[in-house]
């Protein structure tokens, strides 16, 4: 699924992370590990630990408030806690390259290897207005959790509305404030025309209102207002109903039916919502912090210039800045020739450029050098996977995929491919691994296609046919639907031949 970032320009916009050596060669970079986050920082131990602690609190709050949410992401998340604007400018220069662009305080970037969040630690919350300066990154983080928590796409209004409410979360030492009003959303709703509510709740990612910047601003403002009203309006009278709606959708009920059952008719909400938006005072929720998470339990280690340079290279690669990424790789190698994450960054660049053989070499060097990235062995296995493979290559792919699932137990694609390679090799029972992929991502048609291929190879034609049919029903694109239809026909033909042979 694709997460579309917020596009509203504001004083709290997006950003990215580390510095160039020319600007900050003397910086001391450290790595802080909490139970669920790894924070790299040049802002000092105290600031880095605070960032990790706050993220732990937000994760805990989501898990407590929405019991159905799966708060463990499907791949790692790297967090950069940056000490100032020059550090950010050095790594995210595009925000300074064009006149008039907002200079960011936080950013969320999705790379093939991991998710990246970077924030400036010198930017503080506007406590008088209860504005979180990192709301765009929090929005992306919450939205990702929501999308990964259910087996189908969430209704657009609910996903973006709830992500918007929770993006304005502020973590204090003794309490968490969730959902303070967002002034630019209220301004938008009070000054311009709105979509009919009946239209809003029907929108999808393909709707025309969602395809332009102005339309997205309106959708986000109205979605935020609807969720905020259902959570906090009328002294919280609708909160249980919204929770019921979320649970129904998360467990497979069609969104329209879930809305009617939990929230009633859309027309019943139109007037109350209009009145709510005109208010001057708004409620929000206070939660106690998770006392079991303590800063003193986090581990800290110093990073040398080579590791810092490699980290910088990975962020540049994720941002699509190959020139800066290669400069950072070169800088890392000036202090240490063998830097695993430097090879990983190089491999990511080569892979994006379609240089398969060179990418294979770079991924191999990253893994042999001790890279802990779960993506490196998975991607190397996929690059080695060809229509015709000798036994040695098959064994190597099996080993790599085993490493990938051992280091990231939520990589559904690695489980599916591991099962398939075992089926090809005959090295063990394959279906438990393919079934695990389906359990992790039930709505992904590719895993059903893999299951069909594995079962077909085992001559279990009826079961294979069923999986291919499910893949066709789950298809997101015409290509996926065509591939599934062709497989159904091929399995049916194989089944007929087997029956005639008998």
User: The CATH number of the domain where 475 resides is what?
Assistant: 1.25.40.10
Q: Is residue 190 part of a domain?
A: yes
- Judge if 237 and 377 occupy the same domain: no
- Judge if 274 and 404 occupy the same domain: no
pLDDT at 210: 85
pTM of this structure: 0.85
- Judge if 258 and 392 occupy the same domain: no
Which tokens belong to 29? 């970079």
Q: Is residue 437 part of a domain?
A: yes
Q: Is residue 1 part of a domain?
A: no
What contacts 230, CB < 8 A, 6 or more positions away? 238, 239, 241, 242, 263
What contacts 178, CB < 8 A, 6 or more positions away? 61, 65, 165, 166, 168, 169, 284, 285, 286, 287
Helix spans in 119-192 (H):
135-148, 156-167, 183-191
Q: For residue 261, give the CATH number of its domain.
A: 1.10.390
Give the integer Cα–Cα distance in Å for 227 and 243. Answer: 11
- Given a contact cutoff of 8 angstroms between Cβ atoms, the answer to whether 166 and 178 are in contact is yes
Q: Is residue 97 part of a domain?
A: yes
Q: Is residue 112 part of a domain?
A: yes
- Judge if 282 and 419 occupy the same domain: no
Range of the domain at 418: 352-501
Cα–Cα separations (whole angstroms), residue 290 to 49, 260, 457:
15, 35, 50
Which tokens belong to 463? 């079961």
- Judge if 407 and 271 occupy the same domain: no
- Judge if 127 and 252 occupy the same domain: yes
Q: Is residue 99 part of a domain?
A: yes
Q: Among 241, 261, 288, give the residue marking a domain's end.
A: 288
- Judge if 388 and 468 occupy the same domain: yes
Exposed/middle/buried for residue 161 (C-beta within 10 Å: 0-12, 13-18, 19+): buried
One digit per residue, the tens of pLDDT, for the chain of length 502 reads 333 333 333 333 333 333 344 444 468 999 999 999 999 999 999 999 999 999 999 999 999 888 889 999 999 999 999 999 999 888 888 888 888 888 888 888 999 999 999 899 998 755 456 888 888 889 999 999 998 888 778 899 999 999 999 999 999 888 999 999 999 999 999 998 889 999 999 999 889 988 888 889 999 999 999 999 999 999 999 999 999 999 999 888 999 999 999 999 998 998 999 999 998 889 888 889 998 999 999 999 999 999 999 999 999 999 999 999 999 999 899 888 789 999 999 999 999 999 999 999 999 999 999 999 999 999 999 999 999 999 999 999 999 999 999 999 999 999 999 999 999 999 999 999 999 999 999 889 999 999 999 999 999 999 999 999 999 999 989 999 999 999 999 999 999 998 887 6
pLDDT at 502: 62
Exposed/middle/buried for residue 478 (C-beta within 10 Å: 0-12, 13-18, 19+): exposed
Phi, psi of 339 (to 5 degrees): -115, 105
Nearest to 277 by CA among 239, 224, 330: 224
Per the structure, how many domains does the chain have?
2
Give the integer Cα–Cα distance in Å for 82 and 22. Answer: 16
Q: Among 255, 288, 321, give the residue marking a domain's end.
A: 288
- Judge if 268 and 358 occupy the same domain: no
- Judge if 105 and 249 occupy the same domain: yes
- Judge if 270 and 364 occupy the same domain: no
- Judge if 277 and 389 occupy the same domain: no
Q: Is residue 205 part of a domain?
A: yes
Q: Is residue 326 part of a domain?
A: no
- Given a contact cutoff of 8 angstroms between Cβ atoms, the answer to whether 481 and 475 are in contact is yes
- Judge if 264 and 360 occupy the same domain: no
For residue 79, the cross-strand partners are: 39, 117
Q: Among 288, 308, 325, give the residue marking a domain's end.
A: 288
């Amino acid at each position: 699924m694709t997460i579309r970032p917020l596009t509203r320009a504001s004083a709290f916009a997006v950003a990215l992370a580390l510095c160039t050596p020319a600007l900050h060669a003397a910086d001391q970079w450290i790595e802080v590990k909490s139970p669920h986050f790894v924070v790299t920082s040049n802002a000092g131990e105290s600031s880095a630990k605070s960032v990790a602690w706050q993220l732990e609190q937000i994760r805990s709050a989501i898990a407590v408030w929405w019991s159905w949410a799966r708060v463990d992401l499907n791949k790692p998340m790297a967090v950069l806690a940056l000490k100032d604007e020059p550090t950010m400018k050095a790594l995210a220069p595009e925000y300074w390259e064009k006149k008039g662009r907002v200079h960011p305080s936080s950013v969320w970037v999705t790379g093939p290897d991991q998710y990246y969040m970077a924030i400036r630690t010198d930017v503080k919350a506007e406590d008088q207005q209860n504005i979180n300066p990192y709301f765009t990154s929090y929005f992306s983080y919450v939205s990702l959790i929501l999308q990964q928590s259910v087996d189908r796409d969430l209704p657009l209004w609910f996903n973006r509305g709830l992500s918007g409410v929770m993006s304005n979360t502020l973590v204090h030492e003794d309490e968490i404030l969730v959902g303070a009003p967002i002034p630019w959303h209220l301004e938008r709703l009070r000054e311009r025309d709105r979509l009919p509510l009946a239209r809003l709740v029907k929108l999808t990612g393909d709707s025309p209102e969602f395809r332009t910047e102005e339309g997205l601003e309106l959708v986000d403002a109205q979605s935020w207002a609807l969720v905020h009203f259902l959570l906090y309006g009328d002294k919280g009278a609708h909160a249980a109903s919204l929770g019921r709606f979320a649970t129904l959708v998360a467990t497979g009920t069609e969104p329209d039916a879930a809305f009617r059952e939990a929230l009633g008719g859309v027309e019943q909400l139109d007037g109350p919502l209009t009145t709510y938006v005109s208010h001057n005072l708004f409620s929000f929720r206070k939660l106690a912090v998770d006392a079991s998470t303590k800063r003193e339990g986090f581990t800290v280690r110093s990073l040398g210039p080579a590791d810092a340079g490699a980290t910088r290279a990975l962020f540049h690669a994720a941002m699509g800045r190959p020139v800066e990424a290669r400069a950072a790789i070169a800088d890392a190698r000036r202090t240490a020739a063998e830097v695993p994450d430097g090879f990983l960054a190089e491999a990511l660049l080569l892979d994006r450029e379609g240089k398969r053989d060179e990418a294979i070499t770079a991924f191999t060097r990253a893994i042999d050098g001790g890279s802990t990235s779960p993506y490196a062995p998975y991607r190397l296995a996929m690059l080695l996977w060809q229509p015709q493979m000798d036994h040695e290559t098959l064994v190597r792919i099996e080993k790599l995929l085993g490493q990938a699932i051992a280091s990231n137990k939520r990589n559904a694609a690695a489980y599916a491919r591991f099962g398939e390679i075992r089926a090809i090799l005959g090295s063990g029972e394959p279906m438990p691994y393919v079934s695990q992929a389906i359990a992790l991502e039930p709505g992904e048609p590719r895993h059903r296609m893999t299951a069909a291929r594995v079962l077909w190879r085992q001559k279990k034609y009826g079961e294979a046919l069923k999986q291919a049919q499910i893949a066709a029903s789950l298809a997101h694109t015409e290509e996926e639907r065509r591939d599934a239809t062709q497989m159904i026909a091929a399995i049916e033909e194989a089944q007929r031949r087997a029956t005639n042979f008998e």
